[in-house]
Structures are given as structure tokens and as C-alpha cells.
Amino acid sequence: MKRIEIFDSMLRDGAQGEGVAFSVIDKLNIVKALDAFGVDYIEAGNPGSNPKDIEFFEQAQHLKLKHAKLCAFGSTCRKGRKPEEDFNVRSLMDAKTDVIVIFGKAWDLHVLKVLNTTLKENLRMVKDTVAFLKAAGKEVIFDAEHFFDGYKENAEFAMQVLKAADEAGADSLCLCDTNGGTAPERIGEIVREVSGAFPNRRIGIHCHNDIGCAVASSMSAVAAGAVQVQGTFIGIGERCGNADLSTIIPNLRLKMGYECGGDLVMLRDTAAKLSELCNMRLRRNEPYVGDSAFAHKGGMHIDGVSKVSRSFEHVAPETVGNVRRFLMSEVSGRTTVLAKIVTIAPGLKKDSPEVTRIVEKTKEMEHEGYQFESADASFELMALKILGCFHQHFKLGMYRISGEFPHPDGSKSASAMLSVQVGDVQETTAAMGNGPVHALDTALRKALTVFYPQLSNVRLVDYKVRVLTGKAATASRVRVLIESSDGEMDWTTTGVNTDIIAASWEALTDSIEYYLHQKEGTAKCP
């Protein structure tokens, strides 16, 4: 069984994606996460390009990696210079990594029009740089930049570039679809020809996603002989991004039967952690690892997957560390409700009267504007109330909101005062915030943390407002959706009202009640 090397470029190519910026600490934590998951190579940056990468490589020398090899990335020596005289090449040596990735131009257009040099000089730059690094005892991966575009326009020269790197001793030759515009079938054809021409070299593939085919092109390349796949774990990168390794890795293992690095059970958690470190939200419909990857809404789908999971799931969700979810809506029936609440009320049957009441209440509330499809926590609380298993942790006495404009320092423009009761004890407090909802949220947490210190771990991750009908203009009914997290668990709640503050309060209180029920083990019925 062929083993495929997994090469992650999140810290280099991924960092070139729009809106992505890593601190040195971020980069070190990403390396640790990728190593723990089990990738083979981590391309960590260009030490000759900026002070941050220089600092990173200095600190990275103290990392004790269990699996991955850290790589420094840079270009061949410049035209007219020897490698030992080139600042960028010397910076690669100073990074003190065992592996160095060198890129060189494989498209004559770039050589003649961008580098403004001759084809002969470009071949010299490639050969001399690779030979210099090999003489220093480095493992060298040669990235043939723009290889596929170059091959399509001047195959002879593109192959000469690979030959120069090969003769200089490059350990592997990576073919780059840098513009991301080559179709998967053409990628496969060219990789097959290159693999035949260089049977003793490891062939790699590096695809961008400009036509939405980076994953398919990478798989096509592997089928044609590539043994190393470069990409980024959540697909971030220049322009439309790079090949998404969180999709490619399970595809290679589960669909194509190849061996490759990575613990699949850690796939979902690793993708979520890396997204957080990138200050990004993991796409809900991301294959394998997204929240919607194993989410079922249609009644026929839910009925089928409840009876035979593979009837509507191509792999078991736990295989990749994900979970199955059943989505509630006004079209849901008894089967959906029963599947949804089996974890909180395992003793219920499909013909139980409580199931009927939950179905009816769901339809009634969704008619009013609630949406439980994305608010699992609010649905569970509603079900617990109908089942008589809900324990209220606090009661609202009152709240008062005030705002000021303009505010002297441009922030903390609103204040909130509220009173809550827990048991026989009443707590009154006040807080200021960046707007009325923030002030109310801060005051509520401030009051309840006195009774429930564990709430200090909870934070609001996302806040959305949708106008349900525009007929009443600013008096229209609105739906608020709030996502919360304690760093380990994420949950979503909803509220509906013509008053946006009241709708927000409902979603906020549901969020806290759900968390307390979960942490105190009271989220199930006997």
C-alpha cells in the first residue's frame, strides 16, 4: 500500500491568505497542533522575508516535535549570484531546519518577463542552489513554481527545470499549480508523465483552488504517482486558497486506500483548533469536519440514518471525530423529535404523548419566528420544560438599559442595571458595555458569577440578528441567534421579539441555563 506524505503549508502559503495574520506564539501553537495530529512536514515560513519569521525559527529550535519535520521556505539564489553569496539562501541555512523547500520558476514566461533573465541562467540558479543546500546536509524539496502552466506552454523547458533540481540531488520534486487553473484530469496526465521521467524521485503536488478543484486535482495527482501532497489544513491560502488537507487526508485513507500521516479521530478537533488560531470560523459545510457534515434535516433522511447509518452517511462521523446531528424545523415529525431528544430522554417512545407535545410546540414556535435548526440548546431546553425536567437556575427581577451618544471616549456607550434571584437570594448589579446587549450580557454574568463561578469560562462567540418581516419597519419582529463557548463545548440559542433587547435577553438566558444544566448533569430526564 503506497504511503502518501502530508505536507502542511499553513504557516507560509496559508499566511498569504486575505485576513490571515499570525503572531509568533500563534505559529508555535499551530506547529504543536499539526505535529500532534501527525502531519509529516510543516512549512513554517520564509526566514529571509521578515523579522517575525526570523524570531519564529529561533524559538522553534527548542520545540520537541514527535512526528513532523519543520521546513524553511525560500527562493533559489538570484540571477548573477552564487548561493553562498545570496542573503535569502543564507537565511535558510540560519533557520537551522533539517528540511529546506526551495522554489524555482518552471514557466518560461516568468523567467523571461518576471525575473528578466535567460532560461539558461534560471536552470543554473536552480541547480546551484539545490546542490549548495545538499552539500550542507539538508533534505531539499524543490517546488517547481507554475509547473503546470509552464508545461502546457513549453514542456521541454519545464522538464529541464526538474532535471536541473534532480541532477543537483533534490530529495523530492513538487509540481505546483500556482495559478490554480489546471483541471484535475490534466493534472493527472502531467503527473503521470513526470513520474515516468523521474522514477527514482518522490513527486509532490501543490494545488491552489482558483477553479474549486484543488482537492480533486491533488487526488488525481496521487492516483497518477505523486507521493507527497502539499496543502493547508483548512484550505486557507493565496487568493482562493490551497488544497484542503482536512478533506484530502480522509479521502486518501478512507476513499483511496492509501496510508498517510494523521490521526483521523483527531481530525475535527484539530481543524477547529487551527481555525481558532487563525481567528476564523470553521465553515459549517466543510467536508468531514464541519458542523453540517453529518447534520440531517429531511424526515426521510433522519428516518433512514436512524435505522441504517450508511444509508445517508458515507462514513461514520466518529471516524473523523465528528458527531451526527438532527436538525429541528416546522416540518419535523415524531421520528426527528425522538432522534433529537434520545440523549436527554432515552425512555421516550415514538407514540409517547410528550413527543406529540414537543412536535406541536416546535411548529407553534417556528411559526412565531423561532428557528431551532441552528439553535440546538434552545430546543433542548424547550423539550426539558415540556418533559417536566427543567430546573430554573435563576429568575429575572428587572433590568433597565440606557444609552448615551456621543460618548466621550467612543466606547462603553450603554449601561445596564439588573436584578436576579437565585433561590432566596437576590443580586443586583450594573455594568457598562459597547452597546445595550453587551452591557446587559456583562451585567448578567457579573450577577450570576456570584452564585455560579463556572460561568467565568463562558464567552459569546457569535451574535446574529435577523428581521423576520419588514412590514412594521423598525417595529418588526426580530430573531436573535447567539453562539456561546467555554473553550470545550459550543452551543447556540435563540430568542424572538419585536424588542431586540428582549429577544437578546431570551437568547442570553437560554445560553446560561443550558450551560448550567450541562455542567450540573441536569440536562437529562430520569
Task: Please give the average per-residue pLDDT across 442-467, as a whole number.
Answer: 92
- Domain boundaries, position 484: 395-519
The answer to whether 125 and 163 are in contact (CB under 8 A) is no
**pLDDT value of residue 149:** 98
Q: Alpha-carbon distance 387 to 341, whole Å?
A: 11
Looking at residue 411, its pLDDT comes to: 67
Q: Which pLDDT value is given to residue 360?
A: 87
How many residues appear in the chain?
Answer: 526
pLDDT score of 472 more than 70: no
| Domains held by the chain: number | 2
CATH (domain of 471): 3.30.160.270
Q: Residue with C-alpha cell 527545470?
A: 161
Check residue 408 and give its pLDDT.
Answer: 63
Q: Which three cell numbers stand for residue 309?
A: 447509518
d(CA 225, CA 206): 14
Does residue 476 form part of some domain? yes
CB atoms within 10 A of CB 286: 19
Query: Does residue 341 lie in a domain region?
Result: no
Task: Give the whole-angstrom CA distance, residue 17 versus residue 10.
Answer: 9
Identify whether 252 is part of a domain: yes
The burial class, CB within 10 Å (0-12 / 13-18 / 19+), for 336 is buried
What's the whole-number mean pLDDT along residues 245-263? 97
pLDDT at position 15 over 80:
yes
Q: Say if 386 falls within a structural domain.
A: no
How many Cα atoms sit within 13 Å of 426 on the Cβ side? 6
Inform me whether the pLDDT recorded for 392 exceeds 80: yes
DSSP alpha helix (H) spans, 7-99 = 24-37, 51-60, 87-94
**Edge to edge, what strands does the sheet with 478-485 contain?**
459-467, 478-485, 490-497
Q: Is the per-residue pLDDT at 175 higher than 80?
A: yes
Identify the band that residue 366 occupies on the pLDDT scale cut at 50, 70 and 90: confident
In a domain, 481, yes or no: yes
Picking from 221, 238, 262, the residue at the C-terminal end of a domain is: 262
Strands 325-326, 172-177: pairing is unpaired
Say what the pLDDT of residue 508 is: 95
229, 262, 295: which is the final residue of a domain? 262
pLDDT range class, residue 375, cuts 50, 70, 90: confident
Q: Report the C-alpha gap between 173 and 319 in whole angstroms.
A: 33
pLDDT at 53 over 80: yes
Beta-carbon contacts of 520 under 8 Å, excluding residues fewer than 6 positions away, are: none
Same domain, 258 and 401: no
Q: Nearest to residue 247, comparing CAs of 289, 284, 283?
A: 289
The three three-digit cell numbers of residue 153, written as one number: 506552454
Give Cβ neighbours of residue 170 (< 8 Å, ≥ 6 apart): 102, 130, 134, 140, 141, 142, 201
Q: What is the spatial distance between Cα 230 and Cα 468, in angstroms, rounded to a whole number?
A: 45
Report, as an integer, the average pLDDT of 56-79: 96
**For residue 470, what pLDDT is reported?**
60
Place 353 in a pLDDT band, splitting at 50, 70 and 90.
confident
**Mean of the pLDDT values across residues 338-365?**
82
**Between 409 and 51, whose confidence is greater?**
51
Q: Tell me, yes or no, whether 187 and 38 share the same domain.
A: yes
Closest listed residue to residue 177, CA positions, set 237, 223, 131: 237
pLDDT exceeds cutoff 90 at 178 = yes
Separation CA 209–CA 405 (nearest Å):
46
Q: Which residues contact 118 (CB under 8 A, 6 or more apart)?
A: 111, 112
Rounded to two decimals, the pTM is 0.79
- Please say if the pLDDT value at position 523 is more than 60: no
pLDDT of residue 474: 62
Average pLDDT value for the chain: 92
Instruction: Return the closest-CA partner of residue 326 out of 315, 496, 522, 312.
Output: 312
Q: In Å, how far from its chain's centre is CA 49? A: 26
Q: What is the dihedral of CA 293, 298, 299, 305, to 10 degrees?
A: -30
For strand 325-326 and strand 259-260, is the pairing parallel, antiparallel, or unpaired? unpaired
Question: How far is the C-alpha of 151 from the C-alpha of 190, rounded, in Å?
Answer: 8
Judged against a pLDDT cut of 70, whether residue 374 lies above it is answered with yes
Give the residue among 255, 282, 228 at the shortest CA–CA distance from 7: 228
Quick one: 405 and 256 in the same domain? no
Start-to-end CA span in the chain (Å):
50
Evaluate whether residue 340 is within a structural domain. Answer: no
Q: Give the pLDDT score at 298.
A: 78
> Looking at the domain assignment, is residue 76 inside a domain?
yes
Residue 469 grid cell: 418581516
Of the residues 262, 290, 323, the one at which a domain ends: 262
- Give 179-232 pLDDT, tens digit per residue: 999 999 999 999 999 999 999 999 999 999 999 999 999 999 999 999 999 999
- Average pLDDT (300-319) is 91
Q: Is 283 exposed, middle or buried (0-12, 13-18, 19+ CB in 10 A)?
A: middle
Asked whether residue 439 is domain-assigned, the answer is yes
Percent of the chain with pLDDT over 70: 96
Range with the largest mean pLDDT of 378-382, 471-475, 506-510:
506-510
Dihedral of CA atoms 435, 438, 443, 444 in degrees, nearest 10, equals: 140
The DSSP result for 129-142, as a single string, is HHHHHHHTT-EEEE
Q: Give the domain CATH number at 180.
A: 3.20.20.70
Q: How far apart are CA 458 and CA 248, in angstroms?
A: 34
